[in-house]
Amino acid sequence: MTDRQKSRMRASVFHGDRKITVDTRDIPEVGLGEVLVKVLRTALCGSDFKLWYKGAEFTAGHEIFGIVDQPGHPRHGERNVVYIPLHCDHCEACRAGDTQMCLEVSSLIGWNRPGGYAEYVPVPKNCLLPVPDDIEDDLAPLLLDTIGTSAHAVRFAMPLVPPEENAPILVMGAGPVGLGVVLALQSLGYKDIHVADPNEERLSIALSFGAKAHPVGSREKRFKLIFECSGAHAARNLGIELVLPRGALMLVGENAAPWTIEEGKIFRRKDFYMIRTFYFPIRDFAPNVELLRSNKERYRRFVDASFGLDALPDYFARFAEGKLIKPVLSFG
């Protein structure tokens, strides 16, 4: 064990009831096949709200960018983002390239093991994704949830509603993933993109990207492809209503509360696809880097705050209130 691994670090603690503190603790043990990563940036994510409310057993934070801090290791000093799902590389899903859905390992960094709202995090070597030097530190975490999840959702839906159909598309929710869906749609050739969101500031960003505004809750227009990015049950139910026959409703947003679908005539008397997508496969990473490169100025608009660890409680609360889009915790 190196001197660095024996030392202490500063880390956040999610107590529940919207309380976050910062304390000093031992750096987590680095296991076999793992390396220690010095965290440089961790982007805040709305899925951490549940930890904010209920508390977390492990250090939270899963949109992590940092450098390998393992003297003597061949990857020491390498810039990487951290791929959240642990995966075995040999099960049927992994062999098919679906590393985010490994059948043998069910563990997520920042959820079932320590995450990135801390100065250091141990990471399995196969969860390190090298970041090219032309990608600036503040933008690097966007390669994970913001670009990875959204672009995977679009690619997954493409065979059902290909861009050459020129069909109307609706994105419900203009948070980081919803805005990421808009940019991914455009990069893959979709044109008629509509966005619904009650937050005028976020909606204005979507409009500046070339999308059209769709009134929240409106039933006046129907769509061949719908991306539900808010996770709200009411929005999901509306999506079932608004999707055109033989169209597709893609569920991207998360919601841990039970969702009941009423099998009324709108649901029963229509052929349509309803799909759920989770994160992204590692094979998507290279095209996602190119997506970021080609839209850097637009993605810079997502990162609307950068702050230190002591300010995490305040910035997380502001983020939860919808006042920030993608604030980034910065360690120097």
Three-state SS string across the chain, please? CCHHHHCEEEEEEEEECCEEEEEEEECCCCCCCEEEEEEEEEECCHHHHHHHHHCCCCCCCCEEEEEECCCCCCCCCCEEEECCECCCCCCHHHHCCCHHHCCCCCCEECCCECCCCECEEEEEHHHEEECCCCCCCCCHHHHCHHHHHHHHHHHHHCCCCCHHHCCCEEEECCCHHHHHHHHHHHHCCCCCEEEECCCHHHHHHHHHCCCEECCCCCCCCCEEEEEECCCCHHHHHHHHHHEEEEEEEEECCCCCCCCCCCCCHHHHCCCCEEEECCCCCHHHHHHHHHHHHHCHHHHHCCCCCEECHHHHHHHHHHHHCCCCCCCEEECC
The model's pTM is: 0.94
Cα–Cα dist 127/97, whole Å: 14
Query: Cβ neighbours of residue 60 under 8 Å, at least 6 residues apart?
Result: 12, 14, 48, 51, 110, 111, 115, 117
Question: Residue 4: which pLDDT band, with cuts at 50, 70 and 90?
Answer: low
How does strand 212-213 pair with strand 193-196?
parallel
Question: Residue 171: which pLDDT band, with cuts at 50, 70 and 90?
Answer: very high
Question: Residue 10: which pLDDT band, with cuts at 50, 70 and 90?
Answer: very high
HSE (side-chain half, CA atoms, 13 Å) at 154: 28
* pLDDT tens digits, 218-262: 999 999 999 999 999 999 999 999 999 999 999 999 888 899 998
* pLDDT tens digits, 78-92: 999 999 999 999 999
pLDDT at 1: 42
Q: Which of 193, 280, 178, 274 lies closest to 229 in space, CA to CA?
A: 178
Mean pLDDT score of the chain, rounded to an integer? 95
Domains, the chain, with CATH or none: 3-138+303-330 (3.90.180.10), 151-276 (3.40.50.720)
Distances (CA, A) of 42 to 206, 222, 236, 302: 24, 38, 29, 14
Mean pLDDT throughout 2-6?
50
Question: 3 pLDDT exceeds 90?
Answer: no
Q: Which of 55, 43, 52, 27 lies closest to 84 in space, CA to CA?
A: 43
Structure tokens at 57: 């057993």
* pLDDT tens digits, 47-104: 999 999 999 999 999 999 999 999 989 999 999 999 999 999 999 999 999 999 999 9
